[in-house]
Amino acid sequence: MDCLRGFLAKLQNWQRKVGAGNAAMFETLSAVLGENEEDCLLDLLLKTEITQHLTSLDSQLNMFFPEFEEEEGKLLRNPFSGTIDITTIPSDVQDEFLDLKHDSAAKDLYEDKFLNVFWCSMHQSYPKVSETALRLLLPFSTTYLYESGLSTLLQIKNQSRNRLDVDPDISCALSETQPRIRQLTEKKQF
């Protein structure tokens, strides 16, 4: 969420700069504008188009990643912090959260593992708290997977290759398993 907030702040800064006629943050555009000495400044139509695109990107990101409460973020980032206000946590989760907060084995695991691995491993012991935390983590991974899948589909299904059944192709393209071409070819006869 911190990275997202930082990027949204950059988008607003870029909008401000484009409004002032500065396109330095867009390297390719700056290079093209730098080649044409007479067109060095952004014209009004280009400023408007860039600003509209940046505004659209801002609204799309806000739609995909809605802002969550800061207290929920504290619970997610560090459940062992002393600054978490117990009254902000849902009442059906409070007792389980207090058990987790005082579990030294869980604290050791928290210090050794990545955040998502820690919360997944806590699902057996503290299901309500981990479900609350994982619900906050889930939109990032699912949105990424959705966007990468859509991008892969667009690459596979183009005009020169427009088969209706893309399931086998997209499964192969999205799989993280590396093919063992050498092993497969060694088993074939010439």
pLDDT digits (tens, 9 = 90+) for 88-147: 777 888 898 889 888 899 999 998 988 888 988 998 999 998 888 887 777 666 677 778
Alpha-carbon Rg for the chain in angstroms:
24
Across 121-137, b (16+ Cβ under 10 Å) vs e yields ebeeebebbbebbbebe
Cα–Cα distance, 129 to 93 (Å, whole number): 6
Instruction: Read off the pLDDT of each residue in 69-74 and give the average, rounded to a whole number.
Output: 64
What global pTM score does this model have?
Answer: 0.48
- For the chain, which residues make up each domain, given as ranges? 2-64, 88-176
Helix (H, G, I), strand (E, B) or coil at 129: helix
Q: Which two tokens stand for residue 84?
A: 């978490």
Which position has the higher pLDDT, 158 or 52?
A: 52
Q: Which two tokens stand for residue 146?
A: 């959705």
Quick one: pLDDT at residue 13? 92
pLDDT digits (tens, 9 = 90+) for 4-61: 788 889 999 999 988 888 888 888 888 877 766 544 456 788 888 889 999 998 888 8
Quick one: pLDDT at residue 88? 77
Instruction: Read off the pLDDT of each residue in 153-166 and give the average, rounded to a whole number.
Output: 72
pLDDT digits (tens, 9 = 90+) for 168-190: 787 888 888 887 888 888 888 77
Q: Name the DSSP letter for residue 82.
A: T
CA atoms within 13 A on the CB side of 86: 13
At 158, phi and psi to the nearest 5? -115, -175
